[in-house]
Structure 1
């Protein structure tokens, strides 16, 4: 299982006489943006991982938290003061470059319009490094050469601020009313939205295919099922993301996630059957499932597979869909969110207007059914 640092790769202590591996450098990373403009620095050729763009940040000192280090480093490098900005945790990563190991604690911060206007024309930081503002779509498309550890961060940044979940089929009556389910979602889903097409009945998979055919603009999250993949054309269209894929992630339920590991935390055969072509989004309800999600995320990064890009942590509040589940409330939800090594998505009795609350409590996005369609 993961150690107490909750990082996406476990680092076991070894005797100094048995290893020449470099010590791990703990780094706070600031993904600074204003709307779709993101701030990048450029590493000098003489630096480690030189001649590459990077997000602003620096080493976490022994006497400070990651957030404190982030505020200090950003001020020292760019003169941008973040004391009053909302600092949202994206996740934690461990990366071994061979000559150096880094542990990244990654945060996303949106500047105010006033801060952006003050700093948008600065081409050089306080330490002499080049600074540039780049468009998000170009950043995600790989137009800027970043260190390898940043690959997962770019995947995290693809998550939207809200995710729509389809109604259960039973909401429209019996299974013979599948046409009503299809028509409702075809007509009411927001344009180009991320949609988790949740159909628990395996005999209803054709509905997901029909919905994606009728609405080629939506980006779908689908249940992880390698045995019966959907027959949906994934060639790029004008409305699709830079990856050219309409299926943006596969989803693991809480029970499926927990089946990925046995009682002592060793991977089960199920872990190897998870999608190797798409990122994953997992559902978590407690510390045990957060721990399993962190371990799965670490394994997939080590294996070079598409990462775990998000965790639905629920329920924040009571829901009509699961009336017997005890709601967490924002405080307990925030404690779970802090433990997660990937971006956290609020779910359960929420509405899009609650996004700011989710950000303040450590989430990056909100999701739901009734208030999102």
Structure 2
């Protein structure tokens, strides 16, 4: 056997498949602490462990949580966040990550437990402290923290054409969104206008509380001008992610089939959201997510998968329906956001079918 074949075989042997449980009750999250003698020791970690050959990731996470904490989660809603591969040099891990919210009764029963059933220290931490890395985690977990930053609802702006009957559509667009966006909401700026950057920037300055997702190819460099930084030093920080349309995603994927093209034309500065409609686009999104992790770029933190139901804006688009949507969501290596005919009140249904968030226009203002 060649040395290359031996190397590939050893690489395969070194991969450890792990199920990870992100357990929480509201904004309190459960972490264990790794002993100094363990791999990636002296760090906190989410509950979890190796997936046995005869079990699925979900079966493994139920078993590991019971063995490590005594918490029975088989009747809780278990939502797949995504899958990650990380190379530590001395070990490669493939993580299947699940999010589980405990009931109040479960939390009250276990919130005072300082040690797990295997003797490891346990601690409940506030989500804000977790996301700001007050509790150091293994390197592979950094993407999980990015995933957890995504809220359960995301508003999408109306296109400018929605205000075409007004004498000044741009001013009408700006006034409507300034007055009607919920406080501290995440907003996907889908204006559908080639010269929209200025009104998006004005909305951001007028609503410094919102977090913004913008098109990956939009030019918002003007937000860094000295005058605007003085006026509102946080404006540029409001952009939390860039977005790739389904068309752009598939163009990127097609390009890498024919050459050694990289993600050079796709933002290297921010995490990404992508839009998917089918198994082919989810496959492309998975490749993009893997590529960015390998290149140590900000990760893909969510995929808008649509349409679930019939919508007024796309009346001719065939809706997926909840069952098909759920099957597609299971293929994704990143969190899935439901889109298409939904309202914020449908978040529990989305969670049940495998999503982590819902997004939309009409019902989200």
Please indicate the TM-score interval, normalised by the length of the shorter structure.
Answer: over 0.9
Q: Which position in structure 2 is the counterpart of 1:75? A: 66
* Residue 30 (structure 1) aligned with residue 30 (structure 2): no
C-alpha offsets along residues 31-88 of structure 1, whole Å, 9 cap, x if unaligned?
0000000000001111111111000000000111111100000000000110110000
The reply on whether 1:147 has 2:138 as its aligned counterpart is: yes
- Structure 1, 347-356 or 14-23: larger mean CA deviation: 14-23
What are the ranges of 5 or more consecutive residues in structure 1 without an aligned counterpart?
Answer: 1-13
Shift of 1:229: 2.6
* Residue 105 (structure 1) aligned to one of 96, 111, 130: 96
Within a 5 Å distance, the mapping from 1:98-137 to structure 2 comes to 98-137=89-128
Please report how far the alpha carbon of residue 18 of structure 1 lies from its aligned counterpart in structure 2 after TM superposition. Answer: 5.9
Matches of 2:260 and 2:149, distance apart in 1: 29
TM-score after normalising by structure 1: 0.91
Q: CA deviation at 1:19?
A: 5.3
1:366 lines up with 2:332 in the alignment: no
1:56-67 mapped onto 2 (5 Å cutoff) = 56-67=47-58
Cα distance change on mapping 1:72 and 1:219 into 2, 3 Å: same
Match of 2:347 among 352, 355, 359: 355
Counterparts of residues 263-302 of structure 1 (less than 5 Å): 265=257, 269=261, 271-302=263-294
Question: Structure 1 residue 230: deviation in Å?
Answer: 4.6
Q: Distance in 1 between matches of 2:163 and 2:43?
A: 53
Contact 1:260 1:268 in 2 (8 A): no
CA contact (8 A) 1:192 1:239 kept: no
Structure 2: unaligned runs, 5 residues or longer? none
Give, in whole Å, the separation in 2 of the partners of 1:198 and 1:269: 27
1:235 positional shift: 7.0
Q: Which residue of 1 aligns with 2:216?
A: 224
Where does residue 177 of structure 1 map in the other structure? 169
Distance 1:215 1:147 in 2: 36
User: What does residue 311 of structure 1 align with?
Assistant: 303
Aligned to 2:37: 46
Give the corresponding residue for 1:7: none
Q: CA RMSD in A?
A: 2.2
